[in-house]
A = this chain, B = another copy of it.
Amino acid sequence: MEAVSRTAATLDQVARAAGVSRATASRVFSGNLRVSEEARRAVESAATRLGYVANSAARSLAAGRSESVGVVVPEPGSGHFLDPLLSRLLRGIGEELSASGLQMVLFSPQSPADVQRLEQYLVGGHVDAVLMLALHESDTLPARLHARGIPMVFGGRPPQSQEVSFVDVDNHAGGRAATEHLIKQGRRRIAHIAGPDHSAAARARLAGFREAMWSAGLRSDFVDYGDLDRDGGELAMGRLLATADDIDAVFAASDAMAAGAMWALQVLGRRVPDDVAVIGFDDSPIASATRPPLSSVRQPVEDMGREMAKLAVSLSGVRDQSPRQMVLSPELSVRESTVASR
């Protein structure tokens, strides 16, 4: 793309029009330094008159920072585990950055070539910090950013979690809470539809399920797997019922799978929750769309976003960027799918 030169007023012109030096004009826009009321007014009115907007490249170059923070997100609809939570997460991040006057810039690379270009972009100084909601497996980026002093915070615990900062949700506690809720409702033959084994979050939820069942002295081997989507839940439910047709509750590792499971149950003549209670995970919009509405484990995703942003801001500009980590607790969102009518 070629450059087009248009009428874009420069600081110099504004300063001249206001009858002050460039330095003074600059101070007016950076806000913080002492400038006389008179000078400030003159500069501001000149700026308005000329339609001045600071050239951000020049500003970044001179100041050594960009006042913006990059957020790498998974492709929407990619089936990434954050997908149903993404909007809430971004809301939390956005609020926090906004409060700090920082621009949130999103990236959603689709191909390896995109990832390559993105790395250059991020390392090249376009952002002051990076929040990672995807690409956990790319390991070159953390090191390259670190070498340039650009802090990076992961959402969710990355595979090699020692050396990096992250904010995560306690999936193990969530799995346990969901299961304990079912037990408390008097359920005994409880099945779990787990997410794919390669996902640490899915494994943690399964572990939470097992722990709760063991503690209650119940069988914890009614377990099947699905791909986190609706079909996966439906199929897994079918298999589970074929194995044990007296299951009285199901905990699914995602709301979509829970919805699929609920469908399968209803097709096979089971009433939810009277015959079989169902609980999901994520408390996504799906949960209130099913009939009956679905109980679920609500992750404090807005908080997670806020904490990620805070961490990034506090880390940037600091010499010692030793990694910091934080784990937040989920809570139950109880709806009709687990509460039997009497």
Contact = CB atoms under 8 A, between A and B. Distances in A.
Interface of A: 1-8, 51, 53-61, 63-68, 73, 75-78, 86-88, 90-91, 94-95, 98, 100-108, 110-111, 113-114, 117-118, 120-121, 123-126, 128-129, 144, 147-149, 230, 263, 285, 289, 291, 313, 316-319
Given A6-B147, A61-B61, A103-B118, A317 B1 contact: yes
Given A1-B102, A51-B147, A98-B113, A90 B76 contact: yes
B56 A124 contact: yes
Contacts of A149: 4-6
29 contacts: A1-B65, A1-B100, A1-B128, A1-B129, A1-B313, A2-B65, A3-B63, A3-B64, A4-B316, A4-B317, A6-B149, A51-B144, A53-B120, A53-B144, A55-B124, A56-B57, A56-B125, A57-B57, A57-B58, A57-B60, A57-B66, A57-B126, A58-B61, A94-B114, A103-B121, A105-B105, A105-B107, A106-B106, A126-B126
- Which of A7, A100, A104, A285 is packed against the most chain B CB atoms within 10 Å? A104
A105 B106 contact: yes
Contact of A316 (B2, B104, B111): B2
Given A1-B129, A4-B318, A98-B111, A76 B68 contact: no
Nearest to A73: B106
Q: How many copies does the complex hold?
A: 2
Contact of A54 (B4, B67, B124, B263): B124
Given A4-B316, A317-B3, A318-B4, A108 B94 contact: yes
A117 B103 contact: yes
Contacts of A121: 56, 68, 103
A286 to B, nearest CB: 10
A108 B88 CA distance: 12
A120 B8 CA distance: 13
Given A54-B120, A98-B111, 17 more contacts: A1-B65, A1-B102, A1-B128, A1-B316, A3-B65, A4-B319, A53-B120, A53-B124, A53-B148, A55-B61, A56-B125, A56-B126, A57-B126, A58-B61, A68-B121, A75-B87, A230-B289
Contacts of A4: 149, 316-319
B8 A148 contact: yes
Contacts of A117: 98, 101, 103
A1 B4 CA distance: 32
